[in-house]
Amino acid sequence: MRVVINGPRTLAEIVLSVLVSASTFAVAGLICSAARRSHASAPVLALALLATILMVAQTVGIVYALPCGVVAVEAYDWFFLPPLHHLNGAAFSVLGLLIAVAVIVGAVANTVSRNAVESARARGDLADEQAALRRVATLVGGGAAPAEVFAAIADELGRLFGAEASFMAKLDNPDKGLDDDVPTVTVVGSYGRTALTAPVGLTIDLQPGRLLHDALAAGAPVRADVRQLTIGPLGTLVVKLGIRSAIAAPIMVGSSAWGVTVAGTTRNLPPEAEGRILNFVELAAMAVHNAEARGHITRLVKVQQSLRRISLLIAQGRAPEHVFTAVTQEVRHHFTGGAARLLRYEPDGTVTLLAAHGSSEAEPVDPEHRDGLVETVARTGRPARVDRHGQISAVGLPINVSGRLWGLFTVDGHPGELEPGIEKRLEEFTDLIATAVADAQSRAELTNSRARIVAAADETRRGIERDLHDGIQQSLVALALRLRAAAADAADQSDLADAAASLTTVVDQLRELSHGIHPAVLSHSGLEAALRVLARRAPLTMNVDVRLDGRLPSPVEVGAYYIVSEALTNAVKHARASTLDVDAGIDDDVLTLRIRDDGIGGADPTRGTGLLGLRDRVQALGGSFDLRSPPDQGTTIACLIPLRGPNV
């Protein structure tokens, strides 16, 4: 084992032990000379000297006891036991050599003992630090939130060094660091009495010449006493807690300063505290990095889940207003404690608030909202932000639909709350808003197109009906009357009578045809009367249960009639049914229509145009169409048609 003796403390001990041993030799020599003259017992004197040496060893340690014991034994031998010696040059040489050997051996033994004690203490300190880091690592590995990890690091730091107060603070603008105009840190973890006086969320200015600033600037631990601590932003806290000594150490994640830790006590911290704090913080920085990385991944997963929920709403065809509300709620939940708002630009230059979630929901909307975000985005068509104290406090993102600026999405927060690059992360949400708007517009255009097609078809039927009834049908009726009159006057009436009969048959067929296009009873008497007429003429048993109070909007009546008429045709031609049940009623301004036959079932809309046409007609009116036709179990058609809507 190699033992190195160095340091001013060891040198002072060697010099002092030489002086003490020389003094001890002189005193022991006098005592032995006196004991010899008084004829004292040799064993008694030896025991007395031994007891004295043991007391010295117990009191001041081996570095003094060993030389004192050696010179005391030498004095006992020279001045008490014969033959007696005289102090001459040779005697002093021997005495000096004995003292030197004893002092060196004592110093080596003392250094070895001290090193052993310090090594044991260091092993204990290392074990404590490793145990503390294991507890922190367990939190990180268990998926704890970064805030929980930061609080645990502050706790472990305080307990390791017996600090009454400790906290952990993060740089608010790590990209700029101390070069920021007004650099600040925010407490993210607090331990001991600082949990109340320096709570999480407290912002502290970094002032040059003060403890936190100096530690970050030096990139190493910095110590400060009570005189330095009572000046600056922590002065009130130091006085209130009675802190006498504190050490601040920077937290480095990679090559950049992430933040700073502070440990303070009501007594003086030991000299080696800086090194121990630095070692602990260097290892804790890894936990900080891992916790933030895990937290980032967790946030990313949650954001993706939000995006999937919103995408599902869009895929389900939910109303845009529902999607807008969901987006503002999801964004505020993930990105800010302030507010998220969706606004639409109007042609007259105003903006309309469509959805909002957060503290500013009740605020009026004006073009100067959030320091001109609305106006800036409208002018540039690009994302904009508001910075306060070098930190983002609000952002606005444009929403483009079909290549045109449609609206604006804004997010507000406290300075430092909105993370850098938030605009990029919010683009996924604004893209979904644009998709919802475009999808709603497409559905509206499709519905309007269907409605126009159906209306045009109905109008064409009415025109054909009018033309047949008022034109050809009337002409044929007049011709039939003239033929009957001519037959009455003619000598041979058989041919004219046959012609009149044939013409009457043509008129009846034409009347039936015009009724099939658009029955007059539907226009004159309404849906209930038209369905009952249809039931009387049906080639199978048709049961009609209609519960209506008065007339319905014309598009609804026409649509319902043709649904029943087409269902009747399908039941006769394809289903080979014997009975058709029709049930119709009004519930909350919605016509509920249910048609069921007892045929062979197996109806498939993809194999023909009739059922597809019915579905298109219902959807054109803003309603829903449901077909159930299991084999050998009949066919059931259920429709819900609103009585009020844009296409009714």
Percent of the chain with pLDDT over 70: 70
pTM of the model: 0.41
CB 378 within 8 A of CB 405: yes
The C-alpha atoms of residue 340 and residue 483 are separated, in whole angstroms, by 83
Report CA 224 to chain centroid distance, whole Å: 39
pLDDT tens digits, residue range 129-146?
667 667 766 766 666 667
Q: What is the pLDDT of residue 564?
A: 92
In which domain, by residue range, is 242 found? 144-288
pLDDT of 394 reads 80
In a domain, 604, yes or no: yes
pLDDT at 195: 60
- Residue 468 pLDDT exceeds 70: no
Domain count, the chain: 4
Last residue of a domain, one of 256, 288, 320: 288
Separation CA 294–CA 576 (nearest Å): 66
Does 111 share its domain with 157? no
Q: Residue 388 has what pLDDT?
A: 64
| pLDDT, tens digit, 9 for 90 and up, residues 548-577 | 888 899 889 988 998 998 899 889 888 889
Buried b / exposed e over 532-549, threshold 16 CB at 10 Å, is ebbbeebebebebebebe
Q: Last residue of a domain, which of 409, 437, 465?
A: 437
Asked which of 240, 268, 288 is the last residue of a domain, the reply is 288
Answer yes or no: do 281 and 307 share one domain. no
- In this prediction, residues 269-297 reach a mean pLDDT of 72
Instruction: Identify the CA nearest to 206 among candidates 186, 226, 190, 225.
Output: 186
Residues 89 and 150 in one domain: no
Residues 389 and 306 in one domain: yes
**Are 309 and 283 part of one and the same domain?**
no
Whether residue 407 lies inside any domain: the answer is yes
The highest-confidence range among 110-114, 208-212, 471-475, 634-638, by mean pLDDT, is: 634-638
Q: How far is CA 588 from the centre of its chain?
A: 41
Comparison of pLDDT for 293 and 432, the residue scoring more: 432
Least confident of 57-71, 226-240, 437-451, 603-617: 437-451
- What's the pLDDT score for residue 264? 83
CA 632 to chain centroid: 53
Higher pLDDT, 198 or 368: 198
Q: Are 412 and 311 part of one and the same domain?
A: yes
Min mean pLDDT across 249-253, 442-446, 531-535 is at 442-446
Residue 96 domain flag: yes
pLDDT of residue 4: 45
Please report the pLDDT score of residue 368 as a whole number: 44
pLDDT at 322: 77
- pLDDT exceeding 90 applies to what percent of the chain? 7
Which residues share a beta bridge with 357?
A: 340
Q: Is 253 helix (H, G, I), strand (E, B) or coil?
A: strand
Q: Is the pLDDT of residue 30 over 80?
A: yes
Mean pLDDT, the chain, integer: 75
Judged against a pLDDT cut of 60, whether residue 451 lies above it is answered with no
Q: Which of 125-129, 238-242, 287-291, 375-379 has the highest mean pLDDT?
A: 375-379
- pLDDT tens for residues 289-308? 766 666 555 665 666 676 67
Given a cut of 60, whether residue 122 has pLDDT beyond it is no
Distance CA 115, CA 109 (A): 10
Does the pLDDT value for residue 147 go beyond 80? Answer: no
Q: pLDDT confidence of 33, banded at 50, 70, 90?
A: confident
Predicted pLDDT at 230: 73
Residues 253 and 309 in one domain: no
- Which of 334-343, 433-442, 516-525 has the highest mean predicted lDDT (pLDDT)? 334-343
Whether 110 is in a domain gets the answer yes
Q: What is the pLDDT of residues 66-96, one digit of tens each?
A: 787 788 787 777 878 888 777 777 777 777 7
Q: How does residue 590 score in pLDDT terms, banded at 50, 70 and 90?
A: very high
What does the pLDDT look like over 495-547, one tens digit per residue?
666 666 666 666 655 655 555 555 677 878 889 998 998 899 888 999 999 99
- Judged against a pLDDT cut of 60, whether residue 460 lies above it is answered with no
Same domain, 258 and 381: no
Q: Is the pLDDT of residue 319 over 60?
A: yes
Residue 130 lies in a domain: no
CA–CA distances in Å: residue 451 to residues 454, 463, 593, 624: 5, 18, 19, 14
Q: Pull the structure tokens for residue 602.
A: 């197996």
pLDDT of residue 366: 45
On the question of pLDDT at 1 being above 50, the answer is no
Rounded CA-CA distance 28/83 in Å is: 17
pLDDT at 634 over 90: yes
Least confident of 75-79, 138-142, 455-459, 638-642: 455-459
Whether residues 213 and 277 share a domain: the answer is: yes
pLDDT of residue 361: 42
DSSP for 98-162 reads HHHHHHHHHHHHHHHHHHHHHHHHHHHHHHHHHHHHHHHHHHHHTT--HHHHHHHHHHHHHHHTT
Tokens read off for 368: 């100067």
Candidates 65, 74, 73; CA nearest to 106 is 65
**Are 218 and 284 members of one domain?**
yes
Kindly tell me the burial class for residue 6, based on how many C-beta atoms sit within 10 Å of its own C-beta (0-12, 13-18, 19 or more). exposed
Q: Is residue 555 a part of any domain in this protein?
A: yes
Compute the average pLDDT of residues 50-54: 77
Ramachandran category for residue 589: left, alpha or beta (phi over 0 → left; psi -120 to 50 → alpha): left
Asked if 431 and 527 sit in the same domain, the reply is no
Same domain, 329 and 397: yes
- Provide the pLDDT for residue 293: 62
Contact 200, 190 (CB under 8 A): yes
Cβ atoms within 10 Å of 475's Cβ, excluding its own: 11
Over range 40-44, report the average pLDDT. 81
**Local confidence band at 465 (pLDDT 50, 70, 90 cut-offs):** low
- The yes-or-no verdict on residue 489 having pLDDT over 60 is yes
DSSP codes joined into one string, 48-103: HHHHHHHHHHHHH-HHHHHHHHHHHHHHHHHHTSSSP----HHHHHHHHHHHHHHH
Q: What is the dihedral of CA 12, 17, 23, 29, to 10 degrees?
A: -170
DSSP state of 514: H
C-alpha torsion angle, residues 415, 418, 421, 425 (rounded to 10) = -160
Q: State how far the Cα of 220 lies from the Cα of 250, in Å rounded to an integer.
A: 6
Residues 6 or more apart in contact with residue 173 via CB below 8 angstroms: 180, 183, 184, 390, 391, 416
At 359, the pLDDT band (50, 70, 90 cuts) reads low
Give the CATH number, domain containing residue 154.
3.30.450.40
Whole-number pLDDT of residue 78: 83
Residue 600, phi then psi, degrees to nearest 5: -80, -10
Task: Give me the pLDDT at residue 580, please.
Answer: 95
Residue 525 in contact with residue 546, Cβ under 8 Å?
Answer: no
- Tell me if 207 is assigned to some domain: yes
* Residue 161, domain member (yes or no): yes
